[in-house]
Amino acid sequence: MKTLCSIYLITMLLLNTCNSTKNNSNDNSPCDNGVKAIFVNMEGLDGCGMMLQLENEKKLEPTNLGSFEKNVTIKDGTKVWISYKVADGFASICMAGQLVELTCLEKR
């Protein structure tokens, strides 16, 4: 009986551990692996323009923002969902954020 209870307890702990694994994707986002961002106007800094700021305050400088002008009004304070990848092989004089290539941009 003691062995049976031990097996039951271990099984329940393992099942509970598997169920509590957090899924990092955001189910509310229309973008695959989307994250929340907001447009910020950085034109006051030399060579900068409109950038995206994540919830953790990290700033992103998209290299292909013009490709998404039909999806979203690009203005200071607009809240969006984005997916992106780091843009290798690009240079910027702004240097206020990480250069990225957007793969998805949708209004939230």
Which architecture does CATH list for 25-107? Answer: Beta Barrel (2.40)
Letter string b/e over residues 67-106, b meaning 16 or more CB atoms within 10 A of that residue's CB: ebeeebebeeebebbbbbeebeeeeeebeebbbbebebbe
**What local confidence, expressed as pLDDT, does residue 28 receive?**
87
Query: Tens-digit pLDDT profile for the chain (108 aa)?
Result: 656 544 554 554 444 433 333 334 456 899 999 999 999 999 999 999 999 999 999 999 999 999 998 889 899 999 999 999 999 888 899 999 999 999 999 999
Task: Put residue 57 in one of left, alpha, beta given phi > 0 → left and psi -120 to 50 → alpha.
Answer: left
- Residue 6 burial (CB count, 10 A): 10
Query: Please, are residues 71 and 33 in contact by the beta-carbon 8 Å criterion?
Result: no
Q: What is the pLDDT of residue 16?
A: 42
Note the pLDDT tens digit of each residue in 73-86.
Answer: 899 999 999 999 99
Considering the entire predicted model, what is its pTM? 0.72
Q: Please state the domain extents for the chain.
A: 25-107
CA–CA separation, 98 and 91 (whole Å)? 10
